[in-house]
Amino acid sequence: MSQRAPVATSSLARFTAPSWSLLLTVAVCAPVVDRLAAQDEAKPAASIPAELKEVVAAYAAKVAASAVFVSGRTIESVLAEEMAPDAPLQAMVRPFLEYEVDRDQRTVTAKVLGTEVTAAYVEGLGCTLVRGDLTALRARALPPIARAMDPRPWPLGDGLANLPLPAGIDGKALDQAIADAFVDRDGRVKAHTRAIVIAHRGRLIAERYAPSYDAYSVLPGWSMSKSLVNALIGLRIGDGKLALDRELPVPEWSAPDDPRRQLRLMDLLRMESGLDWSEDYEAAGSLALRMLFLESDYAALAASQPLVRAPREEHRYSSGTTNLLCRILRTTFDDERSYLAYARDRLFLPLGMTSALLEPDPSGVFVGSSFGFATARDWARFGQFYLQDGVVDGKRLLPEGWVAMARTPSVVSPRGDYGAHLWLNAGSEKEPDKRPFNRLPRDLFYLSGYEGQYVVCFPSQDLVVVRLGCTKRGGFDLHGFLQHVLQACSPDSLDGARK
């Protein structure tokens, strides 16, 4: 069935997703509703609980607002990619979804079966769900920064050296590996690869973009944003405003006998706090869904969780933990403006990441778990920064030893695959071969985000590989792609990885 084009009224555009028959709706969506809402039997989608309708409306509004006002995309592209019916949440919402895009107010409202949620753009801070006064939300805006082409070579500037590939790199094999990353495979959901950027020894050697995307497209990192938080915490420790061994300023834990008072920054950075959390994005009662799409103060939900294990006994991946770190970071500033400008002024601009931003939640705390944005080149700059041990242009920004600490596996990480808000390929001491990428070097580390966002760093090869996209349910073979890239750039590395 063809899509209906948006109907514009002044700056207001309305868009209704394609209508499906009620029979198809029940057949496709009822199992999803049953799974997400824990209903005993499949029911028509019109009976979805109010809370669940708000979750899907908020998801639709937030994703679309950031796509339109941060990434410069269209609602049509959001429906074709983020809202493609390849995953339960998207399959459920599409038949009942209506968008209103107000370009004057820079808002997107999503309506789902009588429930509507609005997300608004704020200068310098991206988009936030509106949970109160829009004027107060807009008062947080950061002054725009002057963006001009910097002639210095990448990564410090925008200059790209027009030089032959370095000796030892197979250009044809590299081109083929990149081309394959944009191909949709039979029997798999569409890859929707948007961008590939590869840097070798601090120089961009290859990049490619899908149609409608380019080097200036500011794209979501989702959980790659967590590693940005690692950097911000390190910077603030360098400022002398935080310390790894201090009691944490969490009001919810203030009672003298509260066992959570024993937690320290490292417990949160390594995600081994013992706090309860559910990260499932398809299950009823998921705390991650509640936090991102129902709450106003995301960190408060995380802070309210009880200990279910003793600290440092279990690795439990938690977006709530990251947002709690962001609120702890906030306590070290005298005012909101200084806090909100910190990521831009102390991290992004010194690295040349002029496109980058972190979006805050309605309470004004960065959603460091999920809502970081940057161009593919800027994501590569961040990877290069960590390859350079937190040093840029000869100046140390992160404390000495901070990156090494982040790259050290948590002792309770099952496969030695998690450090301090950074993913690893180390393997555990007991089972060194049970690691995420058993045909790739052990020393690689990486950022990873929902729907296939990756920044992969190969220290021994001085290589950074960025892949951005919108892939549902395993439609992109990261392991195979990285093998082909490494084969083209450093074939001996693969032989060593197998030993």
Which residue in this structure is represented by tokens 């028959």? 21
Record the tokens describing residue 311, joined without a space. Answer: 């600290």
Confidence of residue 160 (pLDDT cuts 50, 70, 90): confident
Q: Where are the domains of the chain?
A: 7-138, 219-497
Residue range 22-48: average pLDDT?
39
Q: With 0-12 CB in 10 A as exposed, 13-18 as middle and 19+ as buried, what is 198?
A: buried
pLDDT, position 227: 98
pLDDT, position 34: 39
Q: Which residues does residue 440 pair with via DSSP β-bridges, in sequence order?
A: none
Q: Can you say whether the dihedral through the CA atoms of 379, 383, 389, 395 is positive or negative?
A: negative
E strand intervals along 5-82: 7-9, 12-16
Q: Which residues contact 212 (CB under 8 A, 6 or more apart)?
A: 73, 77
Report percent pLDDT > 90 for the chain.
75
Q: What is the CA radius of gyration of the chain?
A: 22
Q: What is the pTM of this model?
A: 0.91
Confidence of residue 28 (pLDDT cuts 50, 70, 90): very low
Residue 7 φ/ψ, nearest 5 degrees: -105, 115
pLDDT, position 284: 67
Give the CATH class of 219-497. Answer: alpha beta
Question: For 48-100, what is each residue's pLDDT tens digit?
Answer: 788 888 998 999 999 999 999 999 999 999 999 998 877 666 676 678 899 99
Q: Which residues contact 471 (CB under 8 A, 6 or more apart)?
A: 189, 190, 191, 192, 193, 451, 452
- Residue 46 Ramachandran class (φ > 0 left, ψ -120 to 50 alpha, else beta): alpha
Question: Is residue 45 predicted with pLDDT exceeding 60?
Answer: no
Question: For 245-260, what is each residue's pLDDT tens digit?
Answer: 999 999 999 999 999 9
Question: For 485-495, what is each residue's pLDDT tens digit?
Answer: 999 998 887 76
Record the tokens describing residue 370, joined without a space. Answer: 């999920």
Which residue in this structure is represented by tokens 């590395």? 493
Confidence of residue 47 (pLDDT cuts 50, 70, 90): low
340's enclosing H/E stretch is helix 336-342
Report percent pLDDT > 70 for the chain.
88
